[in-house]
Structure 1
Amino acid sequence: MHPMLNIAVRAARVAGTIIMRGYETRDELTLEQKGAHDFVTQIDKDAEQAIIEKIQQSYPDHAFIGEESGTTGENEYTWIIDPLDGTTNFIKGIPHFCVSIALLHKGRLEQALVFDPLRSELFTAGRGTGAQLNGYRIRGTQPKDLSNTVLATAFPFKDKSTFPAYNQTFCKIFAASGDVRRSGSAALDLAYVAAGRYDGYYERGIKPWDVAAGELLVRESGGIVTDFKGNNDPLNKGEIVAGSPKVIRGLVSHLKNL
């Protein structure tokens, strides 16, 4: 394992301990509302701070982009952190949330992990070295088309005025595929695509910390990641499509005019 990824794993496990301790005492949580239907807890903040502090012990000059703390520092190495992806699930006691950490070097994704502390599942990837789940190599699926695929997505719950148009496209994709899931954690959904549990994923209205780690996981498991028009820079477009080339082709054919 790359030394920087190894440090990230240690940081994620520290955050996972904080998250699980908070999960056991959810009734005592104090919620803050960041925006419409968008909440944060002290656990989110504590987990992010713990990740940053752990990484800084080894790399004090590196920069960070965190969901809760924003951008700090300036360096050719930048860590992108979502300390608790799936906060609403966490708050409600739905057992589906994770830690997501990715490392950019000169703007290019180099290392990534998604850690599910409930299931002790650690998804990791390094550029050019493949993707792993708990140390074992994983590969995405290679369906010939959308029929019989199981896809994942999310709905625009923060701006529901856009839902009618989104729903029209969803209905077309649902009709063309085997089934569609909506789980509430983009990072875990992308990790599941990398592991072959889902055949594809798409979402609009995402932030870099939602998908940075998942993007590298999918790419290193043999998949492709694009925006809704099939272009190659989803991290900065606020929208993402992930899966095998043929799944991407099928999804983009429905999403490109959305």
Structure 2
Amino acid sequence: MSQSLHPMLNIAVKAARAAGSIINRASLDVDSLKVNTKAPNDFVTEVDQAAEQAIIETLLTAYPGHGILAEESGRTHGAKHSDFVWIIDPLDGTTNFIHGFPVYCVSIALSFRGKIEQAVVYDPTRNDLFIASKGRGAYLNDKRLRVSRRTRLADALIGTGFPFRKGDNFQRYLKMFEAVLPHCAGVRRPGSAALDLCYVAAGYTDGFFETGLSPWDIAAGSLIITEAGGLIGNFTGEADFLHQREVVAGNPKVYAQLVQLLTPFSRVITEDEAAPAPAPVPEPDAKPAERKPIRLRKKAVEPTQGDDAPF
């Protein structure tokens, strides 16, 4: 597979696997890890830092003129004004990792002039490699990914992430949870947003929503979803989600129904005002109830139709 990848994606895969090796070695003895607290319930380990260093070294050796946006070191490495920016989360799911709960991953995306063009999410526990290049489809270990075909939210399994940092709006999230839970078949909280997005792309879940996420949590997963035929946006269904700290994703039918439930909770509209009760979700075949249209700046990121041949 590696011979036919886009050269930049190939380097990203190499970087992700290098980070994965560091993480796997450290996972054999998590009790001896040095853990620091960035904020209450927000942890960083020496593994996060070593993995990030390995990724940045690999990327900048190949592309010294590129910029870097990384979770632990921000923009301190790489070129400051490049059109190419690598967006990196060296260990998404650090709390899971510290506890030996095997759901965490490495996430690497390449943005060109603000658009994500290459994406890698690597799960070192399962040796699962999720990749996507813009317009060329999304793959898991050589297998083409497609979002699920479920059309009814009532049949859908939805992924989410609970707020966990001090200062997060827990009450707002509980209202959201209360709005979504009765309308779907189940809600899951694995604990790694980057993997959660890949699970939507693979059809393991039918949709996903979370608040409080940073660009490095969702950049790679967002391209993997759209290349698998899914949609991703903010709670009002706009494509402007990377820096909005709210994201919803899913197959097209489930996405539309989640957006209808979550729109009242959007910071774009409410800016943390008390959210009104969400409108009921119509079945896909039913005519939606009339409501005032929301002014959208852009549509949600559309799925792309890559040809079925791998790279």
Same fold, TM-score > 0.5, yes or no:
yes
Q: Which structure 1 residue ranges, 4+ long, deviate > 4 Å from structure 2?
A: none
Equivalent of residue 166 in structure 1, options 166, 173, 182: 173
Matched positions, count? 258
1:40 maps to 2:44:
yes
SS of the residue 1:222 aligns to: coil
How far has the Cα of 1:165 moved from its partner? 2.5
Equivalent of residue 119 in structure 1, options 92, 116, 126: 126
| Structure 1 partner of 2:115 | 108
Cα distance in 2 between the residues matched to 1:206 and 1:165: 15
Instruction: Report matched runs for 1:182-193 at 5 Å.
Output: 182-193=189-200
Cα distance in 2 between the residues matched to 1:142 and 1:203: 22
Q: CA RMSD in A?
A: 1.0
TM-score, normalised by the number of residues in structure 1: 0.98
Q: Relative to structure 1, is the Cα distance of residues 191 and 39 closer, same or farther in structure 2, using a 3 angstrom cutoff?
A: same
How far has the Cα of 1:161 moved from its partner? 5.8
Structure having the higher helix fraction is 1
| Structure 1 partner of 2:65 | 61
- Amino acid of the residue matched to residue 170 of structure 2? F
1:150 maps to 2:157:
yes
Equivalent of residue 229 in structure 1, options 226, 233, 236: 236
Cα distance in 1 between the residues matched to 2:60 and 2:260: 44
TM-score, normalised by the number of residues in structure 2: 0.81
Cα distance in 2 between the residues matched to 1:160 and 1:188: 25
Equivalent of residue 17 in structure 2, options 13, 16, 21: 13
The farther-off stretch of 92-101 and 230-239 is: 230-239
- Amino acid of the residue matched to residue 56 of structure 1? L
Structure 1 vs Structure 2: percent identity of aligned residues? 50
1:178 maps to 2:185:
yes
Unaligned regions of 5+ residues in structure 2, if any? 266-311
Give yes or no for contact 2:87–2:219 (8 Å, CA) kept in 1: yes
| Structure 1 partner of 2:83 | 76
Give yes or no for contact 2:39–2:166 (8 Å, CA) kept in 1: no
Q: Relative to structure 1, is the Cα distance of residues 51 and 225 closer, same or farther in structure 2, using a 3 angstrom cutoff?
A: same
| Structure 2 partner of 1:27 | 31
Cα distance in 1 between the residues matched to 2:242 and 2:172: 23
SS of the residue 1:235 aligns to: coil
Equivalent of residue 92 in structure 2, options 80, 85, 89: 85
Unaligned regions of 5+ residues in structure 1, if any? none
The farther-off stretch of 199-208 and 244-253 is: 244-253
- Amino acid of the residue matched to residue 18 of structure 2? V
How far has the Cα of 1:256 moved from its partner? 0.9
Cα distance in 2 between the residues matched to 1:36 and 1:26: 20
